[in-house]
C-alpha cells in the first residue's frame, strides 16, 4: 500500500472551503459555545438533528428552518448565521410557514397545535388547535388553514373561530388557489380536484395516476403541477380547464414549486432541477440539493433541508452555486492527535490528513490516502491507518508535521474490514479487530503478524495498558474483557470479563496509571478496577443527552472526560475522587463522536455530527 501526494490538495481544501493562496480570505467564524477556545469548521445553517422543513421570509432576508431536534431556527440569508431559536424538547418541527404578510410565523410541532411566533425574535404568540400529521397551508388572506388530520382527511378551518369550512376525506396534499375562493387537493389515488371553499363543489378535476408526492399552483392561478414517485416518476403540468396534461417532465418528482409563471422547480434523482415552462426543458440542475425546499420570494434562491445530514443549504438559482459552503463539511475524523507542545492537532478525515494550529482559521495539508480511512490510531511515536487496502504504519510520527509521502511499512488485512485499532504506548505493537471474531497482534517494527486472540464476538473498541503488556477489549456482545499479553504469546490469556450494557458503539479508556478502565456502549459508563474487573462505580446520564460515545482520562488521572451522542453535543468532565460531574460543555449541534485530551491536560478536543472540531478549556478545572 502506498500513498500519492495530490497536487494542489483540491479535495481537502474544497471540504474546508479555502483556497491554496495565502491571501485567500478565511471564512467568518461562528460564535463559540461557552467553554470553547477554538473551532475548526463552520456551524452555519446547522441543526442539532435532521432538518425537516424550511421557508423564506416575505422580504427574502431571513430563512426559517425546523428540524427533528425540535428547534425552529431563524438564519440571516446574507451571512448564514443563526439569529434566533425556539425549541420544544422531545418534539419535531414538520412545518413552518409565514402568514399575515410576514407578521407571524406558523410552526407545527406535531403536538396538535399550530403555534405562532414573532418572525424575528421567535417570541411565542397564541396557538390554535389543529390536529395535523404533517404539512399545512394558509389561504392568501391568512384567514383559513388547511391541515390533514390523523384520519387522513383534509380539513379547512377558520383561524379566528376554529370552525370547519371544508372537509375532504382521504386527501393527502392541498394548495390554496391565489383567488382565495378555491383550493386544489389530491386524494390517495392521485386525483387532483379544484374545490370551491364555500360548499366544497368540485369545479375541475385531473388524474395524475398514483398518489402524489408534490402539488403546486402557479402564482397566476392558471396552471397546476402534480408530481408522483411511482415506478416511472414524473411531473405533469395542467392548464386549469383542460383535462389533458399540457406537458410532462420525466424522471422528476415532488416536492415541486413554481418560480413566477415561467419556471418550475422539481425534484430529480441526486438533486433538484429547474424546468423552463416556455422552453419545455430543464435549464439548470443542482446536484446534491435534496429534501424539502423553499424558493425565495424573488425566485433567485433555493433552500433545501437535505435528506439525512444536519445542514440546511442555500443555492443561488441564477448561477447554480451554493452559498455559505465554506468549512461546510468536515467529515468525522478517524483520529485526532494533539502535538506534544499543545499548539496543534493532527487530524485524518475521509482520505486526507491535515495539521491544524489551534485557533487558526484553516489547517495545513499533511498527507493523502488512496481510499477513505476507516479508522486510525496513534501512540508510541507511530501512526497506524486502516483503509480498504490494509494497514499503513508511519514510524517517527510527529503530530505537528505533515506525513512523509509513503508509509514506513504496510500490512494486509485479509478479506475483511478493521472494526477497532490500537497502538501500544511504547509503539511496539499494533492490535486490530475484524468481524472474524479475533484480534490480530502485529509487530509495529516490521508489520508482521505475531499472533491472534480468539473472541466470542467482534470488538468495537480496543486499548493497550500503559505498559503494553495488557489489552482491554469492549465487545459487541456487551462484555468488557482484559487480556494479559505474554512476551512470546505463550502467556496470552483472558484475565476477566465483565458484562456492561450492550450497544451499537463502544468507548473504552484506561487511566494513565493503569488502575482504572472506563467503558460504555450505552447510557451507562462503567468505571472498573483493572486488576480483577469489579465495577468501582458507574456514571449515568439523562436520557435526553444520548448514549456515551467516547471517553478519555486526563493525564494526571484526576478526571474522566466523556462525550455523549445526543443532539446537544454534551461533553462531561467527571472528578474521579468525588465521582461528581464538575463541568459540562455543549456544542448544541448534534452528538460528540470522538475526543482527545492534550498532553498538558489544559485542553480537550472533540468532534461530532456538527462536522466541526472544537477545543475546550480545562485549565480552571485542573486548578481546583
pLDDT in tens, 433-486: 988 889 999 999 999 999 999 988 889 999 999 999 999 999 988 899 999 998
DSSP string, 267-291: EETTEEEEEETTTTEEEEEEET--S
Classify residue 605 as left (phi > 0), alpha (psi -120 to 50) or beta. beta
Q: Rounded distance, CA 179 to CA 115, Å?
A: 26
pLDDT in tens, 389-406: 899 999 999 999 999 999
Cα-Cα-Cα-Cα dihedral of 504, 510, 515, 516, to 10°? -40
Burial (Cβ within 10 Å: 0-12, 13-18, ≥19) of residue 264: buried
Query: Would you report the helix, strand and coil content of the chain in percent, each value rounded to 5?
Result: 5, 50, 45
Q: Taking the domains of the chain in order of start, what are their residue ranges?
A: 44-129+289-315
pLDDT in tens, 164-201: 899 999 898 999 999 999 999 999 899 999 999 999 99
Q: How large is the average pLDDT for residues 108-129?
A: 88
- Reported for 152-155, long-range contacts at CB under 8 A and 24+ positions apart, including other chains, are 152/188, 154/185
Are 400 and 343 in contact by the 8 Å Cβ rule? The answer is: yes
Are 303 and 316 in contact by the 8 Å Cβ rule? The answer is: no
Q: Rounded distance, CA 458 to CA 411, Å?
A: 20
Cell of 278: 416556455
Are 470 and 462 in contact by the 8 Å Cβ rule? The answer is: no
Residue 290 phi, psi dihedral angles, 5° rounding: -155, 160
**pLDDT, greater one: 534 or 7:** 534
Cα-Cα-Cα-Cα dihedral of 352, 355, 359, 360, to 10°? -80
Predicted local distance difference test score (pLDDT) of residue 276: 95
| Band of pLDDT at residue 298, cut at 50, 70 and 90 | very high
Instruction: Indicate the SS3 state at residue 514.
Output: coil
Q: 44-129+289-315: which CATH topology?
A: Methylamine Dehydrogenase; Chain H (2.130.10)
Q: How large is the average pLDDT for residues 277-300?
A: 93
DSSP string, 230-269: SSS-EEEEEETT-SS-SEEEETEEEEEEEETTTEEEEEET
With a pLDDT cut of 90, the percent of the chain lying above it is 69
Q: Rounded distance, CA 504 to CA 494, Å?
A: 23
Q: Rounded distance, CA 2 to CA 500, Å?
A: 40
Q: CB-based contacts of 518: which residues, under 8 Å, 6+ apart?
A: 507, 508, 509, 510, 511, 525, 526, 527, 528, 551, 553, 560, 562
| Band of pLDDT at residue 624, cut at 50, 70 and 90 | low
Q: Is pLDDT at 4 greater than 90 in this prediction? A: no
Predicted local distance difference test score (pLDDT) of residue 25: 33
| Band of pLDDT at residue 130, cut at 50, 70 and 90 | confident
Are 341 and 400 in contact by the 8 Å Cβ rule? The answer is: yes
Return the ∠ at Cα 466 (arms to 460 and 467), rounded to 5°. Answer: 120
Q: Rounded distance, CA 459 to CA 439, Å?
A: 8
Output the CA torsion sign for 474, 479, 480, 483: negative
Q: How large is the average pLDDT for residues 91-120?
A: 90
Amino acid at each position: 500500500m502506498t500513498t500519492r501526494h495530490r497536487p494542489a490538495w483540491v479535495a481537502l481544501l474544497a471540504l474546508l472551503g479555502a483556497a491554496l493562496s495565502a491571501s485567500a480570505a478565511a471564512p467568518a467564524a461562528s460564535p463559540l459555545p461557552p467553554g470553547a477556545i477554538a473551532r475548526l469548521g463552520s456551524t452555519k445553517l446547522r441543526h442539532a438533528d435532521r432538518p425537516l422543513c424550511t421557508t423564506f421570509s416575505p422580504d427574502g432576508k431571513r430563512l426559517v428552518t425546523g428540524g427533528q431536534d425540535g428547534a425552529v431556527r431563524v438564519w440571516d440569508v446574507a451571512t448564514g448565521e443563526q439569529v434566533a431559536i425556539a425549541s420544544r424538547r422531545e418534539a419535531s418541527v414538520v412545518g413552518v410557514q409565514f402568514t399575515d404578510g410576514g407578521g407571524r410565523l406558523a410552526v407545527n410541532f406535531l403536538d396538535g397545535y399550530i403555534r405562532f411566533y414573532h418572525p424575528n425574535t421567535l417570541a411565542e404568540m397564541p396557538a390554535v388547535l389543529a390536529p395535523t400529521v404533517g404539512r399545512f397551508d394558509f389561504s392568501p388572506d391568512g384567514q383559513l388553514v388547511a391541515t390533514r388530520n390523523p384520519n387522513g382527511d383534509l380539513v379547512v378551518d377558520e383561524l379566528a373561530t376554529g370552525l370547519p369550512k371544508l372537509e375532504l376525506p382521504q386527501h393527502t396534499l392541498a394548495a390554496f388557489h391565489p383567488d382565495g375562493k378555491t383550493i386544489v387537493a389530491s386524494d390517495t389515488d392521485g386525483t387532483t380536484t379544484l374545490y370551491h371553499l364555500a360548499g366544497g363543489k368540485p369545479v375541475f378535476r385531473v388524474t395524475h395516476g398514483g398518489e402524489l408526492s408534490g402539488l403546486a399552483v402557479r402564482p397566476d392561478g392558471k396552471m397546476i403541477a402534480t408530481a408522483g414517485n411511482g415506478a416511472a416518476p414524473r411531473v405533469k403540468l395542467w392548464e386549469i380547464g383542460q383535462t389533458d396534461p399540457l406537458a410532462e417532465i420525466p424522471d422528476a418528482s415532488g416536492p415541486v414549486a413554481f418560480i413566477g409563471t415561467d419556471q418550475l422547480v422539481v425534484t430529480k434523482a441526486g438533486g433538484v432541477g429547474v424546468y423552463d415552462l416556455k422552453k419545455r426543458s430543464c435549464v439548470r440542475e443542482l446536484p446534491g440539493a435534496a429534501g424539502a425546499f423553499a424558493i425565495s420570494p424573488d425566485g433567485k434562491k433555493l433552500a433545501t433541508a437535505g435528506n439525512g445530514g444536519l445542514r440546511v443549504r442555500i443555492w443561488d438559482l441564477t448561477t447554480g452555486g451554493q452559498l455559505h459552503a465554506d468549512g461546510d463539511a468536515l467529515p468525522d475524523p478517524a483520529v485526532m492527535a494533539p502535538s506534544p507542545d499543545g499548539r496543534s492537532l493532527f487530524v485524518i478525515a475521509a482520505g486526507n490528513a491535515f495539521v491544524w494550529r489551534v485557533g487558526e482559521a484553516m489547517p495545513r495539508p499533511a498527507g493523502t490516502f488512496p481510499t477513505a480511512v476507516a479508522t486510525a490510531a496513534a501512540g508510541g511515536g507511530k501512526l497506524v491507518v486502516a483503509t480498504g487496502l490494509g494497514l499503513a504504519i508511519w514510524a517517527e510520527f510527529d503530530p505537528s508535521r505533515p506525513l512523509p509521502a509513503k508509509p514506513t511499512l504496510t500490512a494486509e488485512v485479509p478479506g475483511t474490514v478493521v472494526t477497532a485499532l490500537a497502538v501500544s504506548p511504547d509503539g511496539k505493537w499494533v492490535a486490530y479487530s475484524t468481524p472474524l471474531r479475533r484480534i490480530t497482534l502485529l509487530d509495529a517494527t516490521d508489520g508482521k503478524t505475531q499472533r491472534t486472540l480468539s473472541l466470542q464476538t467482534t470488538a468495537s473498541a480496543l486499548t493497550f495498558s500503559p505498559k503494553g503488556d495488557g489489552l482491554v477489549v469492549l465487545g459487541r456482545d456487551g462484555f468488557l474483557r482484559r487480556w494479559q499479553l505474554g512476551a512470546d504469546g505463550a502467556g496470552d490469556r483472558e484475565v476477566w470479563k465483565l458484562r456492561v450494557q450492550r450497544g451499537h458503539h463502544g468507548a473504552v479508556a484506561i487511566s494513565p496509571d493503569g488502575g482504572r478502565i472506563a467503558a460504555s456502549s450505552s447510557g451507562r459508563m462503567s468505571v472498573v478496577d483493572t486488576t480483577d474487573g469489579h465495577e468501582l462505580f458507574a456514571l449515568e446520564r439523562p436520557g435526553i443527552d444520548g448514549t456515551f460515545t467516547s471517553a478519555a482520562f486526563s493525564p494526571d488521572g484526576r478526571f474522566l472526560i466523556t462525550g455523549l451522542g445526543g443532539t446537544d453535543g454534551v461533553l462531561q468532565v467527571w472528578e474521579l475522587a468525588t465521582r461528581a460531574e464538575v463541568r459540562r460543555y455543549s456544542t448544541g449541534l448534534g452528538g460528540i463522536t470522538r475526543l482527545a485530551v492534550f498532553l498538558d491536560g489544559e485542553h480537550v478536543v472533540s468532534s461530532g455530527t456538527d462536522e466541526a472540531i472544537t477545543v475546550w478549556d480545562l485549565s480552571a478545572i485542573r486548578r481546583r
